[in-house]
Amino acid sequence: MDVTPFWLAGRSATGDAELTVTNSHDGRVVGVVSVPTTDQVEQAVAAADAVRKQAAALPLHVRADALAHVSRRLAERADEAARLISAENGKPIFWARGEVGRAVSTFRFAAEEARRFSGDVQRLDTDPAAQGRLAYVSRVPYGPILGISPFNFPLNLVAHKIAPAIAVGAPIVVKPAPATPLSALLLGELLAETDLPEGMFSVLPVPNDRAGDLVDDPRLPVISFTGSSPVGYSIMDRVPRKHVTLELGGNAAAVVLADADLDWAASRIAVFSNYQAGQSCIAVQRVIVEESVREEFTRKLVAAVEGLVVGDPADEKTQVGPLVSEDAAKRVEQWIGEAVAAGANVLAGGARDGSTIAPTVLTDAPPESRVVCEEIFGPVMVIQPVADAGEAFRTVNDSRYGLQAGVFTRSLDLAFRANRELEVGGVIIGDVPSYRADQMPYGGVKESGVGREGLRSAMADYTYEKVMVLTGLSL
């Protein structure tokens, strides 16, 4: 099998070690990736630092054209990219195609935002002392960015690191997840087709135990990390003087109130608790149901879950595939077992077959059990009955996390009440918390992170405001 090179300062390169990528469903080898040496990592960072001023001065049309090129080329290679995601990640091909479509949009949105990336003007003569003065407020990149991406969306979450960086004129060094580097390297291939200057991007599939050198390097003043909360906060603690943005985990809740469309809620929750084998930070984990409709809704939900197609991720009909590894599946199996031992009841699923966990519905899980209070990152949901909307919203907030929540209701008053009371970064009314539009601000509160993704929001996070005051003007 040919070895896939990495991207060092915009050029393909190979190192002296290799990483084998396997399919978690059947164990077959998907690809072999070259791993950069320590010296090559240093070259990549040095190149990013050397080009930082040239990158910041790139005309907006150059940035936008490069981003639009990646969007077009990715659309042309969509089937190839989807099959690559499915093979290295274990994601069903249906969902992999959706991820490619989102990445195409992410680069398109970035191209559009790049063309609008200009400053604001403020007249300052609101007071006599500032007569004749005007402020021009621009946004300036902090400098080169280190983007660290996870395995669960190996293409689109890399896109959410790279696209806003190019849009603001900041070089970026990407460290993809070791389990899923191939999709990120495909993006590197498309970026290499553009007219961006050398050093503008590198994609380095280094193992996690070597990431500390990149995190510590002062030439990378911005770190954008997506992944688990413990790792994210360890990065922030390690480099407190850097500008760190964190998109972390959650144990997302879907609230089903008495006035909801129960069929719609059941079908959406069933799918979006399991759509990436539960490996999404906004997959439905807690299902908070008003008591008056609990019995009817639970019956509909279990039926919908049992109707999901579980199997080979390459099969067009598969809705739920394997977890990223057998070890990940064993951990989820252990958490289910702990909950059952503590009194939880299994209404559906619960069994493991290799790296696959059958979509699982639990009731009566103790509030302190890990399936309730931690992020399970697997195809497991826990039903929690509540008396009314007030208790439902308090139960959502009874969590260390606060990424997004879904609220199924037809009441506009309850929708706005949910928005006021829920301690989360996003409230999705009439649907699951798993909904995300790639152009909207996305991120959480509490232990779900700091900063926001979404093109315009990430561009703001990668830059700072700079003010120039002009004096002695006739305004």
For residues 111 and 170, what is the distance between their CA atoms, to the nearest angstrom?
14
Burial classification of residue 66, based on how many CB atoms lie within 10 Å of its CB (0-12 exposed, 13-18 middle, 19 or more buried)? buried
- Alpha-helical (H) ranges within 169-210 are 182-191
- Is residue 281 part of the annotated active site? The answer reads yes
Is the separation of the CB atoms in 202 and 9 below 8 Å?
yes
In the beta sheet, which residues pair with residue 405? Answer: 253, 427
- Is residue 18 part of the annotated active site? The answer reads no
Q: How far is CA 142 from the centre of its chain?
A: 22
Token pair 């413990």 in the structure block, residue: 230
- 99, 281, 290, 453: the catalytic one is 281
**H or E element, residue 30:** strand 29-35
For residues 448 and 251, what is the distance between their CA atoms, to the nearest angstrom?
9
Sign of the CA dihedral 368, 278, 437, 153? positive
Q: What is the residue type of 404?
A: Q
- 88, 113, 247, 375: the catalytic one is 247
Burial classification of residue 344, based on how many CB atoms lie within 10 Å of its CB (0-12 exposed, 13-18 middle, 19 or more buried)? buried
Other CB atoms closer than 10 Å to residue 164's CB: what's the count?
Answer: 32
For residues 44 and 241, what is the distance between their CA atoms, to the nearest angstrom?
22
For residues 146 and 215, what is the distance between their CA atoms, to the nearest angstrom?
7
Other CB atoms closer than 10 Å to residue 38's CB: what's the count?
Answer: 11
Enzyme catalytic residues = 247, 281
